[in-house]
Structure 1
């Protein structure tokens, strides 16, 4: 049986995307279309993180959300998606790692990730006690997402992670956003978290903050010159 730990490997995704035309995590766009319509405007500039070969961007585009920038760290995937959707001229595709978002501050009205953070956390052995390394990795990513969001913009995170596991990662005053939760499904649930920049956390959400002790740790990010990736180093 294939190990989920391979989801963190660029080689794995490059090889997979050479053969696979399409795969949809958490169901198709119709499952969360109503949530998108309630918080995103057709004129908004949208960024997708770790877009993969999902049809989400195509379906957003055909639903009149056409100002979309798609990113993924697999050059094989990005080239394939450029060719596949070349007729959707307003949409762009960039090779970019989620750990190093090369956009200016306040660039987007909406940032969407669907399963990308889940893939980055596949090696977490105990979701009740997340490792300091993964907490630090998530803090780096979420700080960048907040930085590139415009004031009043939204970060939409679509995930299997239940609120008691995932909400504490999003609940930090430094991200400068509120948190709203939309459970999706009947017997089998996944979750849509909507973070709105410029709104304060509720008092209850603030108490959930997973990053309170990170400032005292000896963990620090180390940037690699090759591929602009980040590792975590413990002194």
Structure 2
């Protein structure tokens, strides 16, 4: 089966994913666990509770479980995905699977030590045409998701985001005082770089990030848009974005 959709907007359609997950066994956006293991080990302890957002059919949760992370709650909005993955890992105590929307997490406040996502937020922004702006509707979705993520983190907990997005663009989404977290970023990959952002709940934004938030709020008053980003992957769901700046 050819899993590439005719239009990028299909990546936001749960029916597309349901159909894809019926036959596709596994796909790892932005590389496998081995590519980011050294970074995750720096920020996630083996005994911590982890929420995996938009788990898909990635091997990430299974690989992390094999590496000793045994408290992993996985969510995805595709019921086909959740049914398939829960059956695949039924012999893994401590690994659970739930159909859920990232913008409406059905967990109590401060439920997790770590919230982890790999390309899930990138997929939400599939229809953006420029790295400089996000449509207001998409910006609202991202804000709702980040608000929910912050709510579900325990004090000192970390939101770990693995993404295409360079810091110049993605930090503009994450640098908001109301989320109550600090931001650090790292990169990985040979040749082409991907990025890992670590937001720590209860820590303050750096002075530079505070200044960035202030500037963005001022810009929003005169130009009501929020900045996004893109880059390329083997399956490039952001290939339609125009980087020319024209």
TM-score for both structures, normalised by structure 2: 0.85
User: What are the superposed Cα offsets for residues 82-134 of structure 1, whole Å, 9 maximum, x if unpaired?
Assistant: 11111112100000011111110000000000010010000111221222222
Higher strand share: 1
CA RMSD of aligned residues (A): 1.9
Alpha-carbon distance in 2 for matches of 1:127, 1:88: 40
User: 1:191-232 CA deviation, whole Å, 9 max, x = no partner?
Assistant: 00010001110111122238626799999xxxxxxxxxxxxx
- If asked which structure has higher relative contact order (CA below 8 Å, sep 6+), I would say 2
Partner of 1:207: 211
- Count of residue correspondences: 219
CA distance in 2, matches of 1:126, 1:90: 41
> Separation in 1 of the partners of 2:116 and 2:176?
19
Runs of 4+ in 1 over 4 A off after TM superposition: 213-219
Partner residue in 2 for 1:143: 147
Give 2:157's aligned residue: 153
Task: State the secondary structure of the residue aligned to 1:34.
Answer: helix
CA distance in 2, matches of 1:44, 1:215: 40
1:195 to 193, 199, 202: 199
Per the normalisation by structure 1, the TM-score is 0.88
Paired residue secondary structure (2:192): coil
Structure 1 spans left out of the alignment, 5+ residues: 220-235
209-218 or 22-31, larger mean C-alpha shift? 209-218
2:22 partner SS: helix
Gaps in structure 2 of 5+ consecutive residues:
226-246
Counterpart in 1 of 2:236? none
2:58 to 54, 60, 77: 54
Q: In the alignment, which residue of structure 2 is the partner of 1:163? A: 167
1:150 Cα deviation (Å)? 0.2
Deviation, 1:165, is: 1.3
